[in-house]
Structure 1
Amino acid sequence: MIRARTLILGSAAGLIAVSGAQAADLPVKAKAVEYVRICSLYGAGFFFIPGTDTCIKIGGYLRADTTFNGAVHGGPAWNSDLGQQNRYRDYFVSRSRLALTIDTRTATEYGVVRTFGQGDFQFNNFGTSNPTTLTNFPAQASNALNVAGGGYVAVEFLFIQFAGFTFGKSASAYATPWQGFPGNINSSLLGGQNTDTGVNNIQYTAEFGNGVSASIGLDDPTVWDRTAVYNLSIPGAIGANGTGSNAYAGTHAPEIVGRIRVDQAWGLFQVSAAAHEVSGSYNTLDAGGVPSAASEISGHPETKWGGAVMAGLQIKNIPTGVGDDIKVDASYAKGATKYVIATSGTSPNFAMFGDSGFGYQSVGFGATTDGVYFPGAAGTGGIALTTAWGVRGAFNHNWDPYWSTSLFGSYSSVRYDGGTNDNLLGAGTSTAKGAYCAAFAASHPGQALAGNAAGAYTCNPDFNVSQLGVVTRWTPVKNLTFSGEVQWFHLDQKMSGSSVFTATAPKPNALYEFKDQDTVLLQLRVQRNF
């Protein structure tokens, strides 16, 4: 009996053990996998961020540029060592860039909420080996650009859009959609405004239907919208290259900008306007525009408001070919020269050297300012605003799906109030030209009413600049493009005669003829978009 009971209990225990082992081997039910879903609401490339109703697109491009006889990204040899054509200049300069963009969008009851950002990972050199020039760069910049394995990150657009508003670093409400690139690949086509990498702003856009819209905004002018204000009374106000030290005061007011645009199947037309504050620091400054112990009690010139207007036009579907178009914009500015002499960076001053028929060399100068002032009863009576106007455009033609060509050009003019040699004709320093020429004469002897004799010249700081170029692109496969661009640049300066002066080193003290200047560059590019 006992044996039977033991056998039964042992068998039961065995069955329980086997049953437990089998239960442990049963698969556990896995959690559902959430696959990435395509978001078709905003075009190709968007997908939903898992677990959210927000769509995201990651894109960008990789680009390699080489410019011959010019600065990085197609800047002409219009100043510095390139303008001098001396031994420190690089005959060519290259830049490699990886641009990454992140675009997120979420549908809400107020409309789409959008964020956008772009970072550029890039490497290039300075285009010069001049130790004097290199010391002007911040230490971290020279370390990043001038060492093997270096590089830096540049930040372009960073903005939020909500209910018609845009907050952050974005294109100005003043700008055209093509910015400074109606057909060119270089970032130095003058003749109009350019905020192609974004400016800190707040703006609002209203859509009225049928392609009609209006925008108004407040832009931070500190980086993008200022050139320089010269105090022409300071010692050495105008240096060897015809430029002076910047005496702008701090930023007190934003740019007030706006536009009205019509964008339809035939093309686009818009009118833009901007108000720009021009302010000087102090009446008394030391050499180089440095403040002194007497600056604050010396007073300052009265702040003035300048501004700019622009009209832009694009004509599509022209009979020369499918996808061909013409883009053109024209600008006028008073005290806001950056709206005409604009690049993707700072506005250039011009100091170009070339051959001469009788002097050591010839030279052409062009100082880019928003205004100048000469304090005192016999001075300009405040800031004399600089006038500028320009026009630029391009014709873009597609030969076939793989080849395209753009012909582009620009013309710009900068004018200072007053007449030639005003400081010698009784006007003294009361006009912008009179004050500038008085300061220019201190570093460039020989100013006379007639500049016919060697070492004598007539003074006029006005200048014009012209550009003409052509770019041809080959796209063998989708999103991969090879480009070659040739650009001619002409400086039409208004000085005449010659002067014996000490030019910026390594140039010697010698007789220089004032003369118009020309330069040509070649830019090559390969770019892969993704």
Structure 2
Amino acid sequence: MKLVKSLLLGTAAGIAAVAGAQAADLPSRKAAPVEYVRVCTAYGAGFFYIPGTDSCLRISGRVRAEYAVGQRYSDYQDAYGTRARGRLNIDVRTATAYGTLRTFIRYELTNNTGIYTAGTGPFNTGANVPGLVRGAAGTGSLLDLAYVQFGPITAGRAQSFFDFYASDLNFASIRTADSRVNLLAYTATFGSGFSATVSLEDRTSGTVGRELGGVIGGIGFLGTAAAVTQGQDYPDIVASLRVDQGWGSAQLSGAVGQRKYAAVGAAALGAVDGDEVAWAIQGGVKINLPMLAAGDALWLQAAYADGALGYLGWSGNSLGLGRLGRLTLADASINPVTGKVDNSTGWSVVAAFRHFWTPTLRTEIGASYSELKLGYVDTATALFALAPRSLDPKEFLLAANLIWSPVSGLDIGVEVLYSHLDVRSPVGLVNNASVRSNLLGIKSEDSISGRLRIQRDF
């Protein structure tokens, strides 16, 4: 038995030794190294390195809910409206020998109802809300920003370099240039916060229209002639000089562009062909007021435009006037007497103030006043065709809010907006059934509205 036991143990040991020798000859598989996401501190909070690259990425966004009520002028109008908006930001930056290479994308999805939707025809589909930028009914998408910055060059869809205040308070709704356009720009920096930019900007791609009204009536010419917009040979040229320092910032900007028009619909004017120069100029200053409270600031801005009303912040192609219907806005008209193109002109002033009552409670107040000289009678709307001369609207807007930020990134606020509008000539009155009736002379109106916004930035 001892001999058998010894043989069995020896055989097992031999088999184990052979198996071990064969296993030693097999290739071994090492565990892949784990590459952890690293924080990137070169460009501020929230950036991290994209694994396997030297590029830093930040993903952020916003969700906003709005609820607005306004003054109703007709049974065909809603007295309220809602808006839900989701925003996604993607920011990628890479350090190079030529400076920072940055790529930025902002994409938005918005759902509008009621007074947030754009009206059709002479009447508003919603109540008259001062300063409200209306959108399409239902859900719409928007590529708000998409640009590349490489050293001094900015290319893609970006904020117009003409803009300064650009609704900086976020809640206020006052008349100011605030456009995202396709552009190609070069910015030179001189130190001490000074910079200068020259930008080629495509007005046809703007979220705020540069061409306000494609079909308009001639001066005193009721319905038999109209002006149409022709092609453009070059984009608008925008230049700005800016300074950003500890006390605040200031900017002087200008824009010049080409506009072509032709008359149609009347034999006497069929040969009219106008090639006009449109231009605008704007100056603004922001003054930080830390002596009042941390984050306090005052904005002042003034602008003038000739043939380019979009640079004053007049968006869309019509001005909703509640009882007064909709006045068609246009950058120019063709004078049937002289056969020449008459540019529309206008100017505006803006003032805004932000004050923190506590670190989590702030108030923002903004106001704007603007006047337009249109030089034509709006024959597209029967109510305004009754006016003996151009209407030349004058508008005063005032917005104020109270915003509570209980936690970082969350804003809960209420806003009140007031509007006063005057027109030069009396126009017809719309009754409660949205039918033209007593042709009473109406030259001005006031309206007020309120909003509740809940917004989370992350």
Q: TM-score range by the shorter chain?
A: 0.7 to 0.9
Q: Secondary structure at the match of 1:516?
A: strand
Instruction: Please give the residue correspondences for 1:327-366 in structure 2 after superposition, counting only pairs within 5 Å.
Output: 327-343=299-315, 346=316, 348-353=318-323, 363=324, 366=327
Would the alpha carbon gap of residues 351 and 400 (structure 1) be closer, same or farther in structure 2, given more than 3 Å must change? Answer: closer
- The aligned residue for residue 513 of structure 1 is 441
For residues 119 and 340 of structure 2, the distance between their equivalents in structure 1, rounded to whole angstroms, comes to 38
1:523 aligns with 2:451: yes
Q: Secondary structure at the match of 1:222?
A: helix
- The aligned residue for residue 323 of structure 1 is 295
- The aligned residue for residue 361 of structure 2 is 403
Q: Secondary structure at the match of 1:127?
A: helix
Match for residue 101 of structure 1 among 89, 98, 113: 89
Instruction: Please give the residue correspondences for 1:469-508 in structure 2 after superposition, counting only pairs within 5 Å.
Output: 469-496=399-426, 506-508=434-436
For residues 113 and 327 of structure 1, the distance between their equivalents in structure 2, rounded to whole angstroms, comes to 31
1:374 aligns with 2:339: no
Deviations 1:250-271 (A, max 9, x none): 3332010010011111111110
For the 8 Å contact 1:182–1:328, the answer to whether it is kept is no
Q: CA deviation at 1:219?
A: 0.4
Would the alpha carbon gap of residues 44 and 469 (structure 1) be closer, same or farther in structure 2, given more than 3 Å must change? Answer: same
Residue identity in the other structure for 1:46 = F
CA-based RMSD of the aligned residues comes to 3.7
Match for residue 208 of structure 1 among 190, 198, 207: 190
TM-score between both structures, scaled by the size of structure 1: 0.74
- The aligned residue for residue 46 of structure 1 is 47
TM-score between both structures, scaled by the size of structure 2: 0.85
- The aligned residue for residue 264 of structure 2 is 284
1:14 aligns with 2:15: yes
For residues 24 and 339 of structure 2, the distance between their equivalents in structure 1, rounded to whole angstroms, comes to 98
Deviations 1:287-330 (A, max 9, x none): xxxxxxx89x9334221102000000111125332221101210
Instruction: Please give the residue correspondences for 1:388-427 in structure 2 after superposition, counting only pairs within 5 Å.
Output: 388-416=346-374
For the 8 Å contact 2:147–2:156, the answer to whether it is kept is yes
Q: CA deviation at 1:505?
A: 7.8
For residues 265 and 128 of structure 1, the distance between their equivalents in structure 2, rounded to whole angstroms, comes to 39
Deviations 1:417-443 (A, max 9, x none): xxxxxxxxxxxxxxx35xx38x58x94
For residues 137 and 344 of structure 2, the distance between their equivalents in structure 1, rounded to whole angstroms, comes to 36
Equivalent residue pairs, number:
440
Mind listing any 5+ residue stretches in structure 1 that lack a counterpart? 70-76, 138-143, 287-293, 354-362, 417-431, 448-456
Deviations 1:102-131 (A, max 9, x none): 000111111111000011123222538999
Would the alpha carbon gap of residues 365 and 493 (structure 1) be closer, same or farther in structure 2, given more than 3 Å must change? Answer: farther
Deviation larger for 14-23 or 268-277: 14-23
Q: CA deviation at 1:347?
A: 5.2
- The aligned residue for residue 68 of structure 1 is 69
Q: Secondary structure at the match of 1:56?
A: strand
For the 8 Å contact 2:48–2:58, the answer to whether it is kept is yes
For the 8 Å contact 2:75–2:433, the answer to whether it is kept is no
Would the alpha carbon gap of residues 504 and 278 (structure 1) be closer, same or farther in structure 2, given more than 3 Å must change? Answer: farther
For the 8 Å contact 2:364–2:402, the answer to whether it is kept is yes
Give the strand-richer structure, 1 or 2: 2
Deviations 1:131-173 (A, max 9, x none): 976xx99xxxxxx954xxxx33221110001121000000112
Instruction: Please give the residue correspondences for 1:183-222 in structure 2 after superposition, counting only pairs within 5 Å.
Output: 183=169, 185-186=171-172, 188-190=173-175, 192-195=176-179, 198-222=180-204
Q: Secondary structure at the match of 1:45?
A: coil
Aligned-pair identity (%)? 30
Would the alpha carbon gap of residues 213 and 238 (structure 1) be closer, same or farther in structure 2, given more than 3 Å must change? Answer: farther
Deviations 1:483-502 (A, max 9, x none): 11001011111113x659x9
- The aligned residue for residue 345 of structure 2 is 387
Would the alpha carbon gap of residues 113 and 478 (structure 1) be closer, same or farther in structure 2, given more than 3 Å must change? Answer: same
Deviations 1:222-241 (A, max 9, x none): 143221255535999669xx
Deviation larger for 460-469 or 207-216: 460-469
Residue identity in the other structure for 2:212 = T
Would the alpha carbon gap of residues 415 and 446 (structure 1) be closer, same or farther in structure 2, given more than 3 Å must change? Answer: closer
Deviations 1:386-415 (A, max 9, x none): 110001121111101110001210000001
Residue identity in the other structure for 1:371 = A
Deviations 1:361-402 (A, max 9, x none): xx3764422111035xxx233210111000112111110111
Instruction: Please give the residue correspondences for 1:412-451 in structure 2 after superposition, counting only pairs within 5 Å.
Output: 412-416=370-374, 432-433=375-376, 436=377, 443=382
Q: CA deviation at 1:507?
A: 1.4
Residue identity in the other structure for 1:486 = V
Deviations 1:194-220 (A, max 9, x none): 11xx21000011110000000010000
For residues 367 and 63 of structure 2, the distance between their equivalents in structure 1, rounded to whole angstroms, comes to 27
For residues 488 and 520 of structure 1, the distance between their equivalents in structure 2, rounded to whole angstroms, comes to 5
